[in-house]
Amino acid sequence: KSTQAQAQAQAQPRASVAPPLMQKVAPDLARYTDDVLFGTVWERPGLAKRDRSLVTVTTLIATGRTGPLQGHAGRALDNGVTPRQLSGLVTHLAFYCGWPSAVAALEPLDALFKARGIDTATLKDARALLPAPADDAQRAAAVKAALAGTAPALADLTNDVLFADLWRNPALSPRDRSLVTVAALAATGASDQLDFHLGLAQRNGLSRAELAEAITHLAFYAGWPKAMAAAGRLAKADGADDA
């Protein structure tokens, strides 16, 4: 009987991740989806599936492609991201991609939480902020200096709300915030801001190899040009480190 089951399993093709509509309308895309994206890229070492989920969900929200969001947020839960982290990610992206991008994520997340029976009372923030990084005063002074003559209110909001509050909110670890921020910047082509955040990400515990792998993963969700531009900034950061 076991041999018969084994033979049946071998006779059946591997289940396709590509949905029937894709197999029908864009059969080549279905093949790439099964063989390359899910067969190879998601299985690559160098970046945990949990982190690949953070990069994927971030890219969907940052680029306003919320159709597949409920599905990928569910996959994120399966890969170990907590509901509170998903909620914290949405709040984080409100600042990095604008309120409307975050707002568009609320309904898909609500539908997911309902479908999984998740109690949203667990999403409430305890409001005990993490300590500020040792070099934060230096960073705040640099922001103030850069914007003082041009947009001082933007400098104050950057220091008082973004860094003194959002980044220290324990809903997401600083390492996860950095991964999400790098993915959001890369997905939206904010190359100039990547220079600072690729460095901060490494200070927050992401390895150089994880960042390269996140950018490679993101090629499939934000498109090749965005990944190539981000890889260029990572190469530049490497050069600066060597110098």
Residues from 117 through 156 that contact a copy of itself (CB under 8 A): 120, 123-125, 146-147, 149-151, 153-154
Nearer to a copy of itself, 6 or 207 (CB): 207
Binding residues for a copy of itself restricted to 28-67, rule: CB under 8 A? 28-29, 31-33, 36-37, 41, 44, 46, 59-60, 63-65, 67
| Total residues at interface with a copy of itself (CB under 8 A) | 88
Is residue 207 close enough to count as binding a copy of itself by CB under 8 A?
Answer: no
CB-based contacts of 226: which residues, under 8 Å, 6+ apart?
186, 187, 188, 189, 218, 219
Cα-flanking dihedrals φ and ψ of residue 116, to 5°? -95, 0
Minimum Å gap between C-beta 13 and a copy of itself is: 16
Cα–Cα distance between 71 and 49 in angstroms, integer? 15
Buried (b) or exposed (e) across 206-239, using 16+ Cβ within 10 A? beeebbbbbbbbbbbbbeeebbebbbebbeebee
Q: Which is nearer to a copy of itself, 6 or 111 (CB)?
A: 111
Establish if 198 lies at the interface with a copy of itself (CB under 8 A). Answer: no
Stretch 77-96 residues interacting with a copy of itself (CB under 8 A) = 87-88, 90-91, 94-96
For residue 114, give the nearest of 70, 169, 49, 164 by alpha carbon: 70
Q: Rule CB under 8 A: is residue 16 a binding residue for a copy of itself? A: no
